[in-house]
Structure 1
Amino acid sequence: MFIKKIGIDLGTNNVLVYVPKKGIVINEPSVVAISKNDGKILAVGLEAKDMLGRTPDTISAEHPLKEGVIANYKTTEAMLRYFINKALGGVHLFRPEVMVAVPAGITSIERRAVIDATIAAGARAAYIIKAPIVAAIGADIPIGAASGHMVINIGGGTAEIAVISLGGIVAWGSVRIGGNKFDQAITEFVRHKYNLSVGVHTAEEIKKSVGTAMFMSKPLSVDIKGQDMASGLPHIVSVTSDDVAEALQHDLDLLIKAIGDVLHDTPPELSADIMDKGIILTGGSAQLRNLNELVAQATGVPTYVAEEPMFCAVKGTGIALENIDSYKRSILATR
């Protein structure tokens, strides 16, 4: 099968690649391992992530994207080339059309960098589309309708809040919270409360095992291993869901404020639509337990988590690519 179109969700933590009629073919960490001696790229994706925190002094494992935008052009291009080639598989006769999801607040310079990197990585044509738009498409929201829909797309580096109507964004806000900030907050909380030093991977496991946005009537708990900060010896403690709710409170307060600001900026007619239809949560971090309940409680608007929230944006790129004429108004830039 000749692959002519590819959709990419270029995230701070993960790169997802969608091929029409095949679905999601790649879901790997957006990490690149580089030799410090000669700048050679040694590994990309899962293989590179396994090196994080374990690399010798001669190797650095880096995230080429920070908060959804390119922080290192060279490594982003190399990462895109790797994933495009992997999606195409083996020998390929055609350079594909590629659609990339980017943050809604991206600047024209950042947008140009994504287009240039995508073309340099082997694309015949590159399309740039805002992540909240494709997340809404992937969540089966009819974005072309004349009614308002609110989508909150929460990834690894940022949370974007968007009110969408007639294929465009009417009101928008973003806040620099997401999976990474949640992991950092858990790491710091465990250090202060339990005098235990844990790595980012352990914090992520705590979040997945017992993470919650609200205190629970029946708290969950998980035993974790770390280094006792007094003795330096390995130690095990039990961390609860209440610990995580407390650790994340500051970041979640920022998210709630940002949502309130966007609702305040929304035209009254569209506000009525949102109250009627509810708020949709997308992105990997939307999977945090009880986050929809917290948002609903704080805003008074029914809030739902989209089906497979982590995959909404990349699925949306695929749908938009297959129906490019229908979504022309939503495309930011092309080359």
Structure 2
Amino acid sequence: MSNEGGRRPRGSSLLGRDLAVDLGTATTQVHVQGRGVVLDEPTLVAVDTGTGRLVAAGASAHEMLGRTPQHVLALRPLSDGVITDGDLAEQLLRHFLERVRPTRLVRPRTVVCLPSGITAVERRALEDAAMRCGARRVYAVEEAMAAAVGAGLPVESGAANMVVDLGGGTTDVAVISFGGVVNARSLRVGGEEVDEALAEGVRREHDLLLGERSAEQIKHQVGSVWPVAEKLTTRVRGRDLSTGLPRTIELGSEEVRRMIEPVTAQVVEVVRSVLDVCPPELSGDLLDTGITLTGGGALLRGWTERLRHELGVPVRLAQDPQLSVIRGAGACVDDMGALRQVLTRRPAMQA
């Protein structure tokens, strides 16, 4: 995807390198035209509550989770895939873009990724933030379509392809044919809700309070949505809610799977609901083309087995699924002429 040789991609801006931005609930990724994905960091800021000053952003803010002094708060400016704090989101985006933009003398065209179920107000908030951070013109692409392009699916084919993008704040499901979305649904449930369900399960069953980073680590170490052949265990540290003292427990993969089941079941049902309304001809295609899983949440163990078992269609995991959306959006930046049909454009605004 990157263009290290210096040859200008088709449809590229004559004024500078254009950008693609996936400002996600959990992670922000940026693609620069001709360079590929140049930034992949947590969507997180640390703010001084007294001055409102940004203390840290991205990976450095993530290191501070659960460890900040009293006058500093670690905050996420997005929830469920949409901006909840416009000022913080803009500060974070500006911080990231200043790190990766080759020059501030030109205003790049910028492609932003949007969940399928986003409202007009929520969409405008994201586009406004991009414009205020220096975009000359803003284009939008649905996350599911970007994921399909990034996963290498033949989106312009007449045969149906289905993508399930499991993100940090949303799950986007779409059936794609002839370069367009035939059916789509967006569920405001993602990895963030899995972490919350896990922390709540440990609190309820073990009377132990976990930090946000601890819940995320447990998910990565032993989490699964389908029974695993090898029983995995991990040791977990937290604060005993009865005594207030530190305590360590051991958690196994089966227990964790049970704790997160209410969340993962919602994902299965939203995928089923899209299949239920798929036209018969396209349903037949999906018996051959199947479902492609993208997004960081797709790395949770057992998704391919569970969806294959419950829905009866082939399921495959995209290569580097956590990069599918930004790679697809980046492909749009690198070749806007060829992929213009998947983009919608925001009119230019005065700086």
For normalisation by structure 2, the TM-score amounts to 0.91
User: d(CA) in 1 for partners of 2:204 and 2:119?
Assistant: 38
Partner of 1:238 in structure 2? 250
Could you tell me which runs of 5 or more consecutive residues in structure 2 were left unpaired when the two chains were aligned.
Answer: 1-5, 7-14
Amino acid at match of 2:52: G
Range 236-245 or range 44-53, more displaced: 44-53
Q: Percent identity?
A: 36
Deviations 1:247-279 (A, max 9, x none): 111111111111111101111111111111110
User: d(CA) in 1 for partners of 2:249 and 2:71?
Assistant: 34
SS of the aligned residue for 2:226 comes to coil
SS of the aligned residue for 2:168 comes to coil
Partner of 1:226 in structure 2? 238
Partner of 1:61 in structure 2? 74
Contact 2:65 2:213 survives alignment (8 Å): no
The yes-or-no answer on 1:76 pairing with 2:97 is: no
Deviations 1:204-242 (A, max 9, x none): 111111111112233111112222233322222211110
Contact 2:115 2:186 survives alignment (8 Å): no
The yes-or-no answer on 1:29 pairing with 2:19 is: no
Q: Give me the CA root mean square deviation.
A: 1.7
Partner of 2:111 in structure 1? 99
Range 299-308 or range 111-120, more displaced: 111-120
Deviations 1:8-31 (A, max 9, x none): 111001101112332211111111
User: d(CA) in 1 for partners of 2:223 and 2:203?
Assistant: 17
User: d(CA) in 1 for partners of 2:126 and 2:243?
Assistant: 47
Amino acid at match of 2:239: Q
Correspondence 1:180-259 to 2 at 5 A: 180-259=192-271
User: d(CA) in 1 for partners of 2:31 and 2:222?
Assistant: 30
Could you tell me which runs of 5 or more consecutive residues in structure 1 were left unpaired when the two chains were aligned.
Answer: none
User: d(CA) in 1 for partners of 2:122 and 2:44?
Assistant: 19
Could you tell me which of 126, 133, 146 is aligned with 2:138?
A: 126
User: d(CA) in 1 for partners of 2:228 and 2:63?
Assistant: 34
Could you tell me which of 277, 291, 310 is aligned with 1:298?
A: 310
Partner of 2:296 in structure 1? 284
Q: CA deviation at 1:128?
A: 1.1
Contact 1:129 1:333 survives alignment (8 Å): no
SS of the aligned residue for 1:298 comes to helix
Contact 1:3 1:19 survives alignment (8 Å): no
Runs of 4+ in 1 over 3 A off after TM superposition: none
User: d(CA) in 2 for partners of 1:325 and 1:109?
Assistant: 28
User: d(CA) in 1 for partners of 2:209 and 2:89?
Assistant: 31
Could you tell me which of 53, 64, 86 is aligned with 1:40?
A: 53
The yes-or-no answer on 1:15 pairing with 2:24 is: no
The yes-or-no answer on 1:266 pairing with 2:278 is: yes
Contact 2:34 2:334 survives alignment (8 Å): no
SS of the aligned residue for 2:338 comes to coil
Deviations 1:14-67 (A, max 9, x none): 101112332211111111222322322222211222233333333222211111
User: d(CA) in 2 for partners of 1:190 and 1:215?
Assistant: 19
For normalisation by structure 1, the TM-score amounts to 0.95
Q: CA deviation at 1:160?
A: 1.1
Deviations 1:160-218 (A, max 9, x none): 11111122211111222211111111112222222322111111111111111112233
Partner of 1:311 in structure 2? 323
SS of the aligned residue for 1:304 comes to strand
SS of the aligned residue for 2:337 comes to coil
Contact 2:232 2:253 survives alignment (8 Å): yes
Deviations 1:60-113 (A, max 9, x none): 222111111111111111111111111125x54322221111101112222222
Contact 2:224 2:257 survives alignment (8 Å): yes
Contact 1:130 1:332 survives alignment (8 Å): no
User: d(CA) in 1 for partners of 2:186 and 2:136?
Assistant: 32
User: d(CA) in 2 for partners of 1:304 and 1:219?
Assistant: 23
User: d(CA) in 1 for partners of 2:86 and 2:26?
Assistant: 16
User: d(CA) in 1 for partners of 2:191 and 2:199?
Assistant: 12
Partner of 1:88 in structure 2? 101
Range 189-198 or range 212-221, more displaced: 189-198
User: d(CA) in 1 for partners of 2:137 and 2:201?
Assistant: 46
Could you tell me which of 159, 171, 174 is aligned with 1:147?
A: 159
Amino acid at match of 1:30: T
Partner of 1:110 in structure 2? 122
